[in-house]
Every structure is written in C-alpha cells, then in structure tokens.
C-alpha cells in the first residue's frame, strides 16, 4: 500500500462517488452505498496494514493509518453504509444531492481521521463541516445557519490552537508539537482551544444548542451525523490530549487523585453535559429532539472518559463512542422508519406501532438496551468502564452525575418505547406496514455489533487496548469474556449463560398454559366500546416531573445565545451609521485617515 492508494480509497473514492452519485438521480443512494461498501471492504482487508504517508497537492498532507484511525473509521464506515442503505428506500427528494453531500462528509471524516498534521486536519474538518451544513440546509435554512455558526466557531477555536502551536514550532505536524519548542505555560491555552473546538462538534454544554435543531433533519443523514460525525469530536479530543500533548505532559500540570488538572475540568463539563442532556431529553415530545438531547447526554459520557484520562476511562470513552455510534444511529434510523411509515414526528401522536412493525421495534429495543446500559448489549460495558474509572479514583462529583443521568436515560427510553411502539394503535395507523427491506437490513447491521460485543467484549477491548498501548496511556484488564478494574469486574459469559437458563425457566413456566388474544377494548372498557376511544397516555408524558423542573427549565441556554446575538446585531446597526451616504463626510474620512497615518508614521520615526 502506498500513499496514493490509501488516500485514494478513503478520501478520493468517496469524492469521486460524490460526483458520480449526483447524476444518479433515483439510484444515487445505491451508487453511494456501493462506494462506501468498497472503502469498507478495504478497511477490513487492511487491518494491521498500518503506516504513515505523505501526499503532495501543493501543500503536504501527512496521513497515518493506524489502529486509532482504523477503529474510528470502522464506526464511520459502518454507520454511513447503513445510513445510505436505509436511504435507498426512503424516497428522499433530490436524492442525488443527498448522496453527494453524505459522501463529501464521509470523505472529510476519513480525512480528519487520517490526518496527522494540522493543515490537513483543518482542511478535512471544514470539508465535513460544510457538507453537514448543506445537508441540514435541505430541511431548514435556519437550523442550518445555527449549525454553521457553531461549525465555524469550532473551526476558529481550532485555528487558535493550531496557530499558537505554529507560532512556536513553525510546523503543522502533530509530531513536532512535542519537540519542546512550546513553553510549558502555553499548553493549557492550546489544549483548551483544541478541546473546546472539537467539543462543539460533540455538542458539549454550553455549545450544544445547535444539535437539537440539526438533528431534526432527514433521519438517514442524522444517523450519520449523530452516530458517525460527532465521534470526530471525540477523536480530535483524544488526539489533542493523548497523542499531540501526551499523557506525561498532561500530568505535569498537577494531578488530582491521579487525574491531570488539565483534564479534570473537562470531565466535569462532560458530567454536566450528560446530566443536562438527559434531563432535557426526558421532556421532549418530538422524537428527533428527544434523540438529539439524548445524543448530547451520551457524548457527555465520552467527554468524561476523555477528561479523566486513566486507561480505564479512555478505554471506556472509546468503547462508549463506539457503542453510541451504533445504537444512536440505529435509533435515528428506527425513528426514520417510523416517520417514513406514518409521517409523524410527535411521540404522543404515534402509538402501538410495535404491533405493526415488529422488526423495527426489536431493533430499536436493542438500541435502547444499549442506550440504557442493560447488560444484554455492549452499551453496559462501556458505561461500566466509565463508572469504575470514576469510582476507583473516588470522584464524588462526576460519578453521581453520571449515575443519575443513566437513570434518566431509562425515562426517556421508555418514552420512546411506550409512546411510539406500545400503547394504543391509532386508527389512522391501522394499515401501517413493516419498514421496507433495506431499512431493516440497515438497522440489523447496526444491531449486530452491539450484541456480539456484549457476549465477547474481549474482541473490541483488544482493539481499544492496542490504541491505549500505542499512545502510551496504559492497558486494560480483560480476557475474551470478562473485564475488570481495580475495584471490580464482570464476566459476560457467566451472565449470558445465567440469563439464558433463567429465561428458559421462566419460559417453561409461562408456556404451561395457552393465552387467547383479545382486543384492547375488551378489558378496559369491558367490551362496551364505541368504535374508537383514545386511550394512549403518551401526551405530555412526564408532566409531573416537568412541573417540578419548571423553575429551572425557565433558564435556557438557547435564549441566552439569542439575547447575545441580538445585542451584537444591535451594535452592528450602530456601527453601520459610519457609512452616512454623504460624500462630504467621506472626503473628511480620507483627510482624517491621511493625517492619522502621517502622524503615526512620523511619531514612529521620532
């Protein structure tokens, strides 16, 4: 493998695919699926075939294909493959543009993952950024604008960090940053800029306000955005903290219970994100917004892990990022399937669809298991790692927030399950059919790893361990089926065997007698039903809880931003008055400028 092959398969191929699929009209998603499939196959074949390369397009792009990149590419590739597969049957308007932009975003994401110098990082970062912008623009211009503003804010924070590094080292290479040219006291600035810059893409509080809006776009895209692209933030933070700066440099800023003081505040920020995201998710009635806030909360967990920076914590963050990539895109696709079939977004307007769409329901159920951390999926293991990482170092602020946020996740998970899939089937949905084949296939692909890695966590922990070892962070304790920390551990083989045996026992007891299926009205209304009675209790579901939170929910970060922007826009109109439109004034400006310039020049001379 040489530089051009690597670059060609992972960046140029999607770019070519983007160009080709634009003209594919109706078949554009299929073409795009094929293109992502090809790079997926190569990704699989090239595991272990790692190395560093340089591409010269006038500026030098330094690319490295290593285990970290591979691991994140694996998520990215699977998620976009399934999302595009899903979109094959979702009858999008202007499918050509959709596929093109998805592939552009994919190319950008791959580029970010491969990049090992700041120029290519920034280049691909922005490429990804604007293709997302245009994808959001397909649904709503105002949402897109919010996204773009935060997107460029993120990019400019990165620029600040990159610029400071460049000032001291005169080089864009990651590897040169640690050459010692940068004074010790400058590093916190650099890291803060970089982490916040990447954190915006992860929708870290208080930079999360773009997410609920952007995530209300077309579901196949949102699955990729939330599942795939938001992981680039995690990747970027990981790279800047543990590859560019390195663990020993972080530790040199002082430690608190073995955790760098540079990382700990970000862990707190992550904990706040997890908590706020979860609480807000509970109160959403729009399924897309609910999933968006949930996404914010879950990425808070990743941030916690990256901030704490012990091997277990980073491993947990990586694993959680991986899980989140799969279960959140699965959830968005599941929501997409439901929306595709019913055309509704509001949870309270749906209901009972699980009886009509059993496969979709099962897939979503597994995703929710993973989201809530039920041990039947790998979602548990990553949360376990993060908890144990915090508890074993006795972090008494981070740990409870994380734990209670996880309980909150049960609440909103059930809101989806009950509101959408259970309860009363609406009359107008009586004829809803199961989602089409490609959609189910896409969801199935995403579900498989969640279950497999729950039974055999050793496989994925092996990759993660390799990442940790390669970056000199440490290593994890694990075997094929079990994993342990300093204070505990669990064996998934034992768990699964016990679970299956006991479930079989329960099933035996249950199977003893046959049950008869009766209509819903038979019990509740004693069979005395008029043709239709609304019995779905999903409207305003957590109202009592919401009432208790109302005084706090009044303060919204959203509105703070709006006030902020209004204030500035008002100022802009004041400044505008300089351009009076009167040529006499303008001539006066010229004279003043001349004098000022002259005086400054002479003053300097003197």
Instruction: Output 94 or 470, the one with its CB closest to other proteins.
Output: 94
Q: How far is the CB of 368 from other proteins (least distance, A)?
A: 9
Instruction: Output 60 or 475, the one with its CB closest to other proteins.
Output: 60
Instruction: Output 71 or 147, the one with its CB closest to other proteins.
Output: 147
Q: How far is the CB of 171 from other proteins (least distance, A)?
A: 11
**Whole-angstrom Cα distance, residue 111 to residue 61?**
10
In this structure, are residues 102 and 223 in contact, taking their beta carbons and an 8 Å threshold?
Answer: no
Instruction: Output 75 or 182, the one with its CB closest to other proteins.
Output: 182
**Whole-angstrom Cα distance, residue 177 to residue 239?**
12
* 473 Cβ contact partners less than 8 Å away, ≥ 6 residues apart: 242, 247, 309, 311, 314
Alpha-carbon Rg for the chain in angstroms? 26
Q: How far is the CB of 322 from other proteins (least distance, A)?
A: 18
Instruction: Output 169 or 252, the one with its CB closest to other proteins.
Output: 169
**Whole-angstrom Cα distance, residue 497 to residue 423?**
32
**Whole-angstrom Cα distance, residue 222 to residue 211?**
10
Q: Say whether 207 sits in a helix, a strand or coil.
A: coil
In this structure, are residues 442 and 330 in contact, taking their beta carbons and an 8 Å threshold?
Answer: no
Q: How far is the CB of 422 from other proteins (least distance, A)?
A: 4
First to last CA, the chain: 63
In this structure, are residues 224 and 83 in contact, taking their beta carbons and an 8 Å threshold?
Answer: yes
Instruction: Output 448 or 506, the one with its CB closest to other proteins.
Output: 506
Instruction: Output 555 or 576, the one with its CB closest to other proteins.
Output: 576
Q: How far is the CB of 336 from other proteins (least distance, A)?
A: 20
Instruction: Output 15 or 335, the one with its CB closest to other proteins.
Output: 15
CB count within 10 Å of CB 492 equals 22
Q: How far is the CB of 30 from other proteins (least distance, A)?
A: 21
DSSP string, 312-338: HHHHHHHHHHHHHHHHHHHHHHHHHHH
Q: How far is the CB of 395 from other proteins (least distance, A)?
A: 9
In this structure, are residues 246 and 472 in contact, taking their beta carbons and an 8 Å threshold?
Answer: yes
Q: How far is the CB of 472 from other proteins (least distance, A)?
A: 27
CA distances from 99 to 16, 36, 92, 436 (A): 12, 11, 10, 19
Q: How far is the CB of 82 from other proteins (least distance, A)?
A: 25
Instruction: Output 136 or 325, the one with its CB closest to other proteins.
Output: 136
**Whole-angstrom Cα distance, residue 3 to residue 429?**
54
* 3 Cβ contact partners less than 8 Å away, ≥ 6 residues apart: 53, 54, 55, 63
Instruction: Output 152 or 178, the one with its CB closest to other proteins.
Output: 152
**Whole-angstrom Cα distance, residue 297 to residue 279?**
9
Instruction: Output 185 or 569, the one with its CB closest to other proteins.
Output: 569
Q: How far is the CB of 92 from other proteins (least distance, A)?
A: 14
Instruction: Output 66 or 176, the one with its CB closest to other proteins.
Output: 176
In this structure, are residues 270 and 175 in contact, taking their beta carbons and an 8 Å threshold?
Answer: no
Query: Given the structure tokens 């996880």, which residue do they identify?
Result: 406
Q: How far is the CB of 566 from other proteins (least distance, A)?
A: 13
Q: How far is the CB of 137 from other proteins (least distance, A)?
A: 6
Tell me the CB-side half-sphere exposure of residue 62, using CA atoms within 13 A.
11
Instruction: Output 185 or 518, the one with its CB closest to other proteins.
Output: 518
DSSP string, 334-352: HHHHHHHHH---BGGG---
Tell me, what DSSP letter sits at residue 286?
A: B
Q: How far is the CB of 503 from other proteins (least distance, A)?
A: 4
In this structure, are residues 351 and 419 in contact, taking their beta carbons and an 8 Å threshold?
Answer: yes
In this structure, are residues 240 and 370 in contact, taking their beta carbons and an 8 Å threshold?
Answer: no
């Amino acid at each position: 493998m040489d530089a051009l092959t690597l670059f060609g398969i992972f960046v140029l191929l999607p770019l070519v695919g983007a160009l080709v699929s634009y003209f594919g009209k109706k078949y554009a998603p299929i073409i795009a699926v094929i293109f992502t499939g090809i790079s997926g196959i190569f990704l699989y074949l090239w595991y272990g075939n790692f190395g560093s390369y340089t591409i010269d397009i006038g500026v030098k792009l330094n690319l490295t294909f290593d285990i970290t990149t591979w691991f994140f590419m694996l998520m990215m590739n699977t998620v976009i493959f399934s999302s595009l597969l899903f979109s094959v049957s979702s009858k999008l308007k202007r499918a050509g543009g959709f596929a093109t932009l998805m592939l552009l975003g994919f190319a950008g994401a791959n580029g970010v993952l491969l990049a090992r110098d700041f120029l290519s990082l920034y280049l691909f970062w922005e490429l990804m950024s604007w293709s997302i912008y245009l994808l959001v623009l397909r649904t709503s211009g105002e949402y897109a604008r919010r996204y773009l503003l935060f997107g460029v804010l993120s990019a400019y924070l990165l620029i600040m960090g990159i610029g400071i590094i460049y000032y001291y080292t005169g080089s864009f290479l990651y590897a040169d940053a640690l050459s010692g040219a940068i004074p010790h006291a400058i590093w916190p600035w650099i890291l803060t800029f970089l982490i916040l810059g990447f954190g915006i893409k992860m929708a870290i509080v208080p930079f999360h306000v773009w997410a609920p809006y952007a995530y209300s776009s077309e579901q196949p895209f949102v699955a990729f955005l939330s599942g795939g692209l938001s992981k680039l933030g995690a990747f970027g933070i990981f790279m800047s903290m543990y590859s560019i700066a390195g663990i020993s440099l972080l530790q040199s800023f002082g430690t608190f219970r073995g955790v760098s003081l540079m990382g700990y505040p970000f862990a707190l920020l992550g904990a706040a994100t997890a908590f706020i995201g979860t609480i807000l998710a509970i109160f959403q009635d729009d399924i897309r917004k609910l999933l968006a806030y949930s996404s914010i909360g879950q990425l808070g967990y990743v941030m916690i892990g990256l901030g704490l920076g012990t091997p277990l914590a980073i491993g947990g963050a990586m694993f959680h990022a991986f899980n989140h990539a799969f279960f959140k895109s699965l959830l968005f696709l599941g929501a997409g399937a439901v929306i595709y079939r019913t055309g509704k977004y509001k949870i309270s307007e749906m209901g009972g669809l699980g009886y009509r769409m059993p496969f979709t329901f099962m897939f979503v159920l597994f995703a929710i298991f993973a989201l809530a951390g039920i041990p039947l999926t790998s979602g548990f293991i990553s949360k376990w790692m993060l908890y144990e990482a915090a508890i074993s170092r006795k972090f008494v602020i981070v740990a409870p927030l994380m734990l209670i946020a996880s309980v909150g996740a049960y609440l909103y998970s059930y809101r989806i399950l009950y509101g959408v899939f259970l309860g009363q089937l609406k009359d107008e949905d009586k004829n809803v059919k199961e989602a089409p084949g490609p959609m189910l296939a896409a969801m199935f692909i995403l579900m498989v790893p969640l279950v497999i890695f729950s039974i055999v966590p050793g496989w994925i922990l092996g990759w993660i361990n390799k990442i940790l070892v390669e970056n000199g962070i440490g290593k994890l304790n694990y075997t094929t089926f079990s994993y342990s920390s300093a204070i505990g551990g669990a064996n998934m083989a034992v768990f699964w065997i016990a679970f299956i045996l006991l479930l079989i026992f329960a099933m035996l007891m249950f199977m003893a007698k046959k049950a008869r299926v009766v209509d819903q009205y038979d019990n509740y209304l004693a069979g005395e039903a008029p043709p239709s009675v609304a019995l779905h209790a999903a409207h305003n579901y957590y109202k009592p809880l919401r009432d208790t939170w109302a005084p706090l929910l009044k303060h919204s970060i959203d509105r703070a931003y709006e006030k902020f922007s209004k204030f500035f826009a008002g100022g802009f109109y004041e400044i505008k008055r300089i351009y009076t439109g009167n040529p006499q004034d303008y001539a006066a400006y010229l004279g003043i400028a001349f004098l000022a310039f002259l005086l400054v020049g002479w003053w300097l001379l003197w």
